Amino acid sequence: MSADPSDPILRVDDVTLAFGGLVANRDVTLDVRGGEILGLIGPNGAGKSTLFNLISGVYRPSKGRILFEGADITRLPPAERCRRGIARTFQVPRSFDSMNVLENVTVGALARHRTAASARRAALDTLERVELTHRAEAVAGELTPPEKRRLEVARALATGPRLLLLDEVLTGLTPSEAKAGVALIRRVAATGVTVIMVEHVMEVVMPLVDRAVVLHLGSVLAQGLPAEVVRDDGVITAYLGERHRAA
């Protein structure tokens, strides 16, 4: 059964994840619309990366369910979710450091292509999209930190996602590198890929995203348009700080 085009591409429905007595996410409910850029923000330990792990299939929720394009994927393993169109990056880049850049991206492309030759062609196209072609033959372990983050994005894009989860891909970048990263994310979204991004650099992320969801202590504290969220009293108290209120 195909999903109704008016339905959200992703629905997280009353999801809780507990590790023994520690609740990492509690009663999280949110919808992600097709084609939007959604910012997932909040203080360290708020449960943002845990929620990414739930969406991508690393963890299964203790309760609740996750729907992607109308289908219940709550119990599907990560590889199957990837085949269905969910890709992600990691907070700490996870490249195959002994392989070159092209080989790393080809690994991602093999999720969508049946032959090594077609996967390699797709990988080359992807490297061009992320402006990393000039480093195709470089060993991944020799890349700079910003290049490794871009390689993470390239490998995820090579899987042909419809939903892309970006975990702090702009963190630690210089202003010019962050500007290039923002331009890349906008280009990806312009192709119809839905983006959820975890980011701490508020000055960068808020002008970029269409909506923002704020997590605090594992729960949704606020969600809405960026301009609304940054004026929310609870968000200011829990995350932005009183200096933001004064500004």
pLDDT digit string, tens, across residues 41-93: 998 889 999 999 999 999 999 999 999 999 999 999 999 999 999 999 998 88
The CB density around residue 100, as the number of other CB atoms within 10 Å, is 17
Q: Which residue has the higher pLDDT, 212 or 5?
A: 212
The residue ranges of every structural domain in the chain are: 1-85+163-247, 95-160
Average pLDDT over every residue of 9-22 = 94
pTM (2 d.p.): 0.92
The fold of the 1-85+163-247 domain, in CATH, is Rossmann fold (3.40.50)
What is the C-alpha separation between 27 and 54, in angstroms, rounded?
13
Specify the pLDDT at position 244.
Answer: 59
Residue 9 has pLDDT above 50, yes or no: yes
Q: Which residue has the higher pLDDT, 199 or 155?
A: 155
In whole angstroms, how far apart are CA 178 and each of 73, 112, 115, 201, 243?
33, 29, 35, 10, 24
Specify the pLDDT at position 242.
Answer: 64
Rg over CA atoms, the chain: 18
What is the C-alpha separation between 23 and 62, in angstroms, rounded?
10
Specify the pLDDT at position 247.
Answer: 54
- Residue 5's pLDDT band, with cuts at 50, 70 and 90, is low
Specify the pLDDT at position 202.
Answer: 81
Specify the pLDDT at position 192.
Answer: 95
pLDDT digit string, tens, across residues 19-32: 988 999 999 999 99
Q: Which residue has the higher pLDDT, 36 or 205?
A: 36
Average pLDDT over every residue of 233-247 = 74
Give the residue among 173, 226, 243 at the shortest CA–CA distance from 36: 226
pLDDT digit string, tens, across residues 113-143: 989 999 999 999 999 999 999 999 999 999 9
- Residue 108's pLDDT band, with cuts at 50, 70 and 90, is very high
pLDDT digit string, tens, across residues 176-231: 999 999 999 999 999 999 999 998 878 888 999 999 999 999 999 999 999 999 88
On the 0-12 / 13-18 / 19+ scale of CB atoms within 10 A, 10 is: buried
